[in-house]
């Protein structure tokens, strides 16, 4: 390998710099005999109207998502388990941006750990399911839970929950009930008890349907707390919350201090690997795939325009060959205060690795 083509990546932290990987500098937009970097000598076209800041705002949000994901992904990759490459892909997601005029093309990792990709998933789910959901009358938001479980018991717990809901769905169909909706699977971690909380959020039509599902759920999980289950009317906020794909990785310890526990996050990522997070049932037949396209181009009106230029990720923003930063994003003190905790109390190994 030609070492002249290597680029050292660094991990940003408040006080120290941590070496990550030594890899070939990203060249995901090669143009054969005419490399894109050859076009960078073109003069900058200048800024658009200063009032047109929407493009920069969007890219700043992307920078924030990438920075936050990167802090977690590199620690997860350091675990050196079967998901190492999966986590590395999340770390390098959107590492290089190709800008032509006001259009930006990037390569996406499609990882559920990645907040950048999850924002796209959320928009995709909203666009795909809003119309079918709006056709439901008297919508109710139902939360179904089971008792917290250990890391080793989490995969089996998810299988039992899936089997239980499938049986309830079959029962409603056999009774020819008028029902439909969406089910979303979530897992959170309790740092105080060192346990995991798998649960489902469901939007369905009618209070009777919601009560029926809840009643059947409690029959299948009699040890679950009735107070932990919930039924309420749906509003716009609850609809949007259902579609959010951002993995809830922040937990609080017994003192109320927020932190990200790396090994529990790994447990959650592996437990959810290749599982459907959002699934329609009943009268909603449409299924929206959760995967996103690897290469995507989007227009960002108002960004400083170039004929053609590449931006490469550096710590918390993208930089071009002239040393200019794309968004000016600087992580807030609140973001930097969130602790990354490499907990060593347990191995958190599953009974079997994901296939």
DSSP bridge partners of 17:
12
Asked whether residue 196 is domain-assigned, the answer is yes
Whether residue 186 sits in one domain with residue 169: yes
Q: Which of 237, 259, 282 is the last residue of a domain?
A: 282
Q: Edge to edge, what strands does the sheet with 180-190 contain?
A: 230-233, 139-145, 195-205, 180-190, 278-282
Q: Is residue 104 part of a domain?
A: yes
Say if residue 263 is in the same domain as residue 126.
yes
DSSP labels, 147-194: --B-TTTHHHHHHHHHHHHHHHHHHHHHTT---EEEEEEEEEEETTTT
Residue 15 lies in a domain: no
The token pair at 106 is 């990037």
Residues 126 and 214 in one domain: yes
Do 217 and 334 fall into the same domain?
no
At residue 127, does pLDDT exceed 80?
A: yes
Same domain, 71 and 174: no
Q: Indicate the pairing of strand 258-261 with strand 339-341.
A: parallel
Q: What is the pLDDT of residue 241?
A: 81
Partner residues linked to 325 by β-bridges: 319
Is 11 a member of any domain? no
Under a CB-based contact definition with an 8 Å cutoff, are residues 345 and 194 in contact? Answer: yes
Instruction: Please indicate, yes or no, whether residues 34 and 160 belong to a single structural domain of this protein.
Output: no
Q: Identify whether residues 47 and 71 lie together within a single domain.
A: yes
Residues 321 and 260 both lie in one domain: no
Find the domain containing 330 and state its range: 26-116+294-341
Confidence of residue 280 (pLDDT cuts 50, 70, 90): very high
The pLDDT tens digits of the residues spanning 51-107 come to 445 899 999 999 999 999 999 999 999 999 999 999 999 999 999 999 999 999 999
DSSP code per residue over 67-107: HHHHHHHHHHHTT-STTHHHHHHHHHTT-EEEEEETEEEEE
Q: Which residue has the tokens 């919350």?
A: 241
Strand partners, 312: 96, 319
* Residue 168: CB atoms within 10 Å: 20
Q: Where does the pLDDT of residue 253 fall: very low under 50, low under 70, confident under 90, or very high at 90 and above? A: confident
Q: Residues 202-219: what's their mean pLDDT?
A: 97
Render pLDDT for 140-175 as a digit per residue (tens, 0 to 9). 999 999 999 999 999 999 999 999 999 999 999 999
Cβ atoms 351, 152 nearer than 8 A: yes
Query: What is the residue-averaged pLDDT of the chain?
Result: 83
The answer as to whether 5 is a domain residue is no
Domain assignment of residue 326, yes or no: yes
CB 109 within 8 A of CB 90: yes
Q: What is the pLDDT, as a whole number, of residue 7?
A: 34
Angstrom distance (rounded) from CA 349 to CA 264: 10
Q: How many domains does the chain have?
A: 2
Radius of gyration of the chain (CA): 23
Q: Are residues 129 and 201 in the same domain?
A: yes
- Name, in order, each residue with C-beta under 8 angstroms of 273's C-beta and a sequence gap of 6 or more: 83, 86, 354
In a domain, 313, yes or no: yes
What does the alpha-carbon distance between residue 130 and residue 65 come to, in Å, rounded to a whole number? 25
Model pTM?
0.80
* DSSP code of residue 232: E
> Which tokens sit at 343?
């907990």
Who contacts 238 (Cβ-Cβ below 8 Å, separation ≥6)? 141, 203, 232
Kindly state the tokens that stand for 146. 């089971």
User: Residue 15: its pLDDT value, please?
Assistant: 34
Residue pointed to by tokens 């250990």: 150
Res 245: pLDDT: 65
Does some domain include residue 220?
yes
C-alpha triplet 12, 322, 333: angle, nearest 5°: 25
CA pair distance 250, 68, nearest whole angstrom: 11
- Quick one: 299 and 268 in the same domain? no
Q: Same domain for 73 and 154?
A: no
Residues β-bridged to residue 197 = 188
Q: Lowest-confidence range among 18-22, 294-298, 320-324, 326-330? A: 18-22
Query: Which of 115-129 are b and which e, b meaning 16 or more Cβ less than 10 Å from the residue's Cβ?
Result: bbbbbbbbebbbebb
Verify that 235 and 134 share a domain, yes or no.
yes
């Amino acid at each position: 390998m030609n070492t002249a083509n290597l680029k050292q990546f660094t991990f940003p932290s408040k006080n120290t710099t941590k070496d990550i990987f030594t890899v070939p500098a990203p060249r995901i937009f090669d143009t054969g005999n005419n490399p894109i970097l050859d076009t960078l000598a073109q003069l900058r076209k200048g800024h658009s109207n200063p009032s047109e800041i929407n493009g920069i705002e969007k890219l700043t949000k992307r920078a924030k998502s990438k920075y936050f994901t990167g802090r977690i992904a590199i620690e997860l990759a350091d675990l050196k388990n079967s998901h190492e490459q999966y986590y590395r892909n999340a770390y390098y997601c959107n590492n290089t941006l190709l800008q032509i005029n006001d259009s930006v093309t990037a390569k996406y990792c499609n990882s559920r750990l990645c907040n950048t990709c999850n924002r796209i998933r959320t928009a995709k789910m909203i666009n795909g399911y809003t119309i079918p959901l709006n056709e439901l009358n008297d919508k109710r938001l139902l939360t179904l839970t089971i008792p917290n479980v250990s890391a080793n018991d989490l995969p089996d717990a998810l299988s039992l929950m899936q089997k239980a809901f499938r049986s309830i769905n079959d029962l409603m169909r056999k009774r020819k009930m008028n029902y439909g909706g969406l089910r979303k699977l979530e897992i959170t971690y309790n740092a105080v008890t060192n346990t995991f909380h798998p649960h489902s959020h469901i939007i369905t039509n009618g209070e009777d349907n919601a009560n029926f599902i809840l009643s059947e759920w409690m029959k299948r999980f009699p040890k679950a707390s009735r107070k932990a289950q919930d039924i309420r009317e749906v509003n716009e906020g609850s609809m949007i919350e259902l579609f959010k794909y951002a993995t809830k990785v922040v937990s609080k310890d017994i003192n109320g201090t927020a932190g990200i526990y790396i090994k529990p996050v790994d447990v959650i990522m592996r437990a959810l690997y290749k599982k459907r997070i959002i699934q329609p049932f009943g009268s909603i037949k449409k299924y929206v795939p959760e995967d996103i396209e690897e290469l995507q181009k989007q227009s960002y009106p108002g960004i400083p325009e170039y004929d053609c230029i590449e931006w490469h990720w550096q710590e918390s923003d993208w930089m071009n060959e002239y040393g200019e930063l794309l968004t000016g994003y600087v992580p807030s003190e609140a973001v930097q205060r969130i602790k990354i905790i490499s907990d060593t109390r347990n191995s958190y190994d599953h009974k079997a690795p994901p296939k």
